[in-house]
Each structure stands twice: as structure tokens, then as C-alpha cells.
Amino acid sequence: MTHPSPDRLFLDFQSAVAGRYSLERELGRGGMGVVYLAREVRLDRPVAIKLLPPSKATDPKLRERFLREARTAAKLSHPNVIPIHAVEEIGEFVFFAMAYIEGETLTERVRNRGPLAPSEASRVLRDVAWALAYAHGQGVIHRDVKPDNILLENNGRVLVADFGIASVVAGAGGLTSEEVVGTPEFMSPEQALGEVVDARSDLYSLGLVGFFALSGTLPFEGEKATEVLAKQVTEPAPPLASVAPGVPRRIAQAIDRCLSKDRDDRPEGTSVLADQLSRALEQRRELPLALRVFVKRGARFDDAGALLYPFVLLGAVVAASPITSVALGYGLFAAGITLVPAAVLIQRARRLLKAGFDHGDLEVAFKAELDRDREERAGGRRLGPSWLERIFKSIGLGGFISGGLHLTVVPLLVGVFVPEAALIGFSVGMWGMTGALILLQRRRDVDTEFWGKVWAGRIGRWLFKLARAVTPSRALPASLTHRPTELALGMAAEQLYESLPKETRNQLRDLPDVVHRLEQDAQKMRARLEELQEALADADQRVSPDPAIAARHDRIVADLTAERDLVQQRLKDAVAALETIRLNLLRLHAGTGTVQSLTTDLGLAREIAGEIGRHVEGLREAEEAL
């Protein structure tokens, strides 16, 4: 294997730093300088050295500014900022040495493997926002935030490079537009106009990075850098949702707000953006392994279908045998299609209980899986529909379903007189309905939706109740802490209730239903609270100079604020009622509480649930009216 011959700059620079650094190869170069991979001799560690080109280092003002801002960047100490080990000048060479990162740039990641998943992109952008917020707090503005300056380490860490360096070189007036090609695509309008930039400029650039990471495209492109800069100043960025429909609304709105031309309309700071992305990540956090396995495989009965065949076959043989009764055969058949599936599902519920999860976790788990599925399907739709989808879509999903039903049922009725019509109609009708179901399954995960309703509803509660009854209490671990507060309290209350004597449970027989209703009410209020917070955040961005519109805007904001406060109180009441029930059950177990006091608290809890129910019903009626 042959290596390219080193150029004159490489040889001269190596001579100047001999004994301190051993240069290995050039990593890249641009208008801002040349980057080499080297080894620091004394500590025997790999470093990346960025060298200010000697042609620019001869300018005293540019040389001094490079050194001053490089030393400022070297003072930054943050987990998501590439550490600068040394800033030096040796003769005509001015350079700084920083940690060498094993990994790839965000540009390489997107170009090689396509847009990032929303959860991954949110994590990357959040970590970059953290780094920028820290730097802004130290008085350092990056001014060159772009995917090339965001490194993704092999171990998953996100690091930001080149704080303040590129802007020093560009700001000195020594570079033409051709020399900074690439940067204009990530430049804020105020920077493109040559105005003084602040932290909000980095926010705009980070919004462009997010747009690129989530869609794989750039909002502004052109053949020349001047064309791109003109678009940055004059053209609004397209909404992220228009090019990446699978991105969750909250994340897309955060990116869109960063791309506001008016810097006052952008988020209040990079720390605020980081908080927004953190909340989005928290909502979409990865499910624990046991729940993922259960939702994808354990919740279904399809992979245990072979267990039915012996019962069905035995039932058929017994029913047909002249020496046994038909009733016994049918009994075996019925047991095969009811008791066997129930036993299998109860065993799987026991497995989940032993892993530390309970029925209350399933609604959250199925919802997370369906959200992830919708995200993936939206990404697939960007590639265009398949030939099968185009055929079904041209005829219409509703047409297939209704046509299939007619072609199946009507010929079957006619088939009483004309058997051939029944056979043909049944075949064609079943083909039509099968096609409709295939198209529906390609649009939605109908299978997961069905099993989610089964497990999260009454049947699931019954299966878990039976599973807990046949599982020794010592085999059940303590509840995990990842779940929402209302679910954790509800599950604790149900466990305490199940361990009460049978007579006491009979006296408090409606407690599980009250607890379950409070859990659902709290979750509804939590979801509504998030919607109102988003609506208020949107309203803050849309203030019109027109007095009449501004007055109407203020009334809407006041109404939203009042409802938010009410929803917060409803959520607090529901959680407090659950906490009270749990505490009274604990007192009952300790012998310091009474059934009468718990019955009184259940009555109050029902009133709270009724108030929340009326609140939800009022919202539903208002939405229908709108």
C-alpha cells in the first residue's frame, strides 16, 4: 500500500514540532486551517492538531485573534465539548492540539446511513444544546455550528468542535465566499448580513443542523454561496413536518422555532431548547426489555397455536366415535379453544409479574410501541407506496371492505339455490377483504392495536389477577420506578388490596375499579396538560401588532392558562386520591386503620373521578362542536 507524499507544509510543520508531536497524516483542510492526526510524545496519546495556515498567520491581528479565541475555547470544560489540550505558537506556526475522537461527524452519519431516528436526533441535538448553553454562559459564541463540527464518538458520546475559531478567520475579512463554502448553509440571517451575532445565532444554526439530521436535506441550497446566504436572509424555512412527516410534533415545532428569521422569536436560549428535547426524549424513552419482548411477542397467542391442535383433533375424534358422546367431543373442542389459550396467556402474565411489571404498565408499553411503529411507517411512506398499495388505493379501502362483504354474504344466500354462486362469490369476496386487510395493516399495526386493547382492558386485568393468584408472593419483585406516578400508586394499591383477607376485600370490592378509574383520569389530565403547554408556547410566538387581534390573542391565552391551571389541579387531585387510598391500605395492613375510613376515602375518590369525567366530557363536546 502506498501513502501519498507529504507536502511542504507537513514537512515544515513536523520539523517545527519535532520532539513534542509526531504527525501521522492530514485529516482535512479548509479555509480555516489544516487538521493533522498526531501523537503527543510525552503523554503518548493521539491528538488532532489544527494549524492556522502560515499565509494567514503573518497577519498580526488575525494571528492574535486566533490565539485569543483559541485560548478562550481551551478554557471550556464540558462533557460535550472537545477538550483543547494546548494553544501554541512556534515560529511562523500557530496551532492548537485537541483530543482526537474515534467516530464520525454528523454529516458522515447522515450521508452514509440516512436521517437519524427522531429519538436519536433529539439526543444528539440536546447534547449539542447543552454544550452551547455552557459555552454561552462562559461568554463564548460558536458561530460555526454545523454537522461537520459535531462528532459522534463510537461509544455514543456527542462532542462539539471548533468553538470560536472559524468565525475569527472569517470575521477578519481574509476569506472569500468560495473559501467558506459549506458554512453558508448553516449561517444565521444576522451573521449573513454581517451584523453582531449572539447566542441566538447559534440557535438558528442548530435548527438547521436539526433539519438536516431529521430529514437528510437542507432548507436552503444554491449553486453559489451568495445564493444560499440570500435565501437565509429572505426566505422562510419550510416546516420540518413537510419533509419529515414522521418526526413528532413537539420536536418539529422546536426546530421550526429555531429557524425564525427574527431572533426574538427563537427559543429563549439553548438551555430552554435542551429542556424541550429532554422532555421529548423522556416521553419517548426506550421501553425496558421485558416489556418490549411482551408487546412484540408475548402478548399474542399466534406462536402457541400448535397447542390447540391436539384438543381440536381429539374433540373431533371423540365426537365422531360411536362409543363416546358428542357432548364430550364438543367439550374437549371448547376447552381447546378457550382454556388452553387462557392458560398460555396467564403464564405470560406471570412471567411479566416476575420481571417486576404489572397490568398498569401495559397501556404505556403498547402506546410507546404504536408510536414507534407510526414513526417507522411514516419514514417508509417517504419512499413512496408499493405497487400493491397503489392497486388497493386506486380502488379504495372502503370499496374493498364493503365489496368483499357483499360478494361474500349475498352469494352465500343465493348459494342455497345455486351452489356454484356461493363458491365463486365466497372466493372473490374473501380475496377482496384480504386485500383490504393487507392494505390496512401496511398503514397501521392492526395486530398490536388489537392485542393492546385486549391486554389493557378488562380481559388483561383478569389475566393478571389470575396470574398473581397462582404466583407465590416471594417470587414477585418490588415495583420498578420507571412508570408514571399514578400507575405506580395504583399498582401499589392493587397489590395491597389483593393481600387483604377475603372478607375485607369483599367489604372494599369496588376499590380496584375506583383505583383504575383514577389512574385513567390522571393519565388523561397529564396528556391534556401537555397539549395546553404546547398551545400556550405556540400562542406566545404569535403576537400581532393589530390591537383587535392582539386583544383576541390575550383572551385566548387567558382561557388556555385558566384551563391549564384547572387541569393541573385535577391531576393533583387524582394523584392525591390514589396516594390516600394507598396510605389507608398500608394502615389497614399495620392494624392502625379501619375499613370505614377507607370506605369514606373511596367515596371522596369517586367524587373526584366524577368531576374529572365531567371535565373530559365537556372537552369532548367542545371539540365536537368546533
| Helix orientation angle between 458-469 and 485-498, rounded to the nearest 10 degrees | 50
| Helix orientation angle between 511-540 and 547-590, rounded to the nearest 10 degrees | 150
CA distance 626 to 621: 9
CA distance 346 to 409: 37
Contact (Cβ atoms closer than 8 angstroms) between residue 578 and residue 519: yes
Taking alpha carbons only, the member of 238, 243, 227 closest to residue 187 is 227
Strands 84-90 and 93-99, by their bridges, are antiparallel
Task: Note the helical H segments in 138-248.
Answer: 165-171, 189-192, 199-215, 225-234, 240-243
Q: Which residue shows C-alpha cell 438536516?
A: 212
Q: Which three cell numbers stand for residue 293?
A: 419482548
CA distance 293 to 210: 31
Task: Note the helical H segments in 75-143.
Answer: 106-113, 118-137
CA distance 500 to 523: 27
Residues 137, 138, 140, 144, CA torsion sign = negative
Contact (Cβ atoms closer than 8 angstroms) between residue 201 and residue 136: no
Contacts of 362 by beta carbon, 8 Å cutoff, 6+ apart: 291, 294, 295, 299, 452, 455, 456, 460
CA distance 429 to 433: 6
The single residue of 7, 12, 44, 144 carrying the catalytic annotation is: 144
- Counting Cβ atoms within 10 Å, is residue 282 exposed (0-12), middle (13-18) or buried (19+)? exposed
Contact (Cβ atoms closer than 8 angstroms) between residue 141 and residue 202: yes
Strands 103-105 and 150-153, by their bridges, are antiparallel
Q: Which three cell numbers stand for residue 144?
A: 460555526
DSSP assignment letter at 247: S
E strands of 139-194, at which residues?
Answer: 150-153, 158-160
Taking alpha carbons only, the member of 260, 259, 286, 257 closest to residue 118 is 286
CA distance 351 to 133: 45
R_g (Cα) of the chain, nearest Å: 33
Task: Determine the residue type at 236.
Answer: P
Residues 125, 127, 131, 134, CA torsion sign = positive
Helix/strand/coil for 250: helix
Catalytic residue status for 521? no
Residues 459, 463, 468, 470, CA torsion sign = positive
CA distance 341 to 60: 82
Contacts of 133 by beta carbon, 8 Å cutoff, 6+ apart: 269, 270, 271, 274
Task: Determine the residue type at 443.
Answer: R
CB atoms within 10 A of CB 52: 25
Question: Which residues are known to be catalytic?
Answer: 144
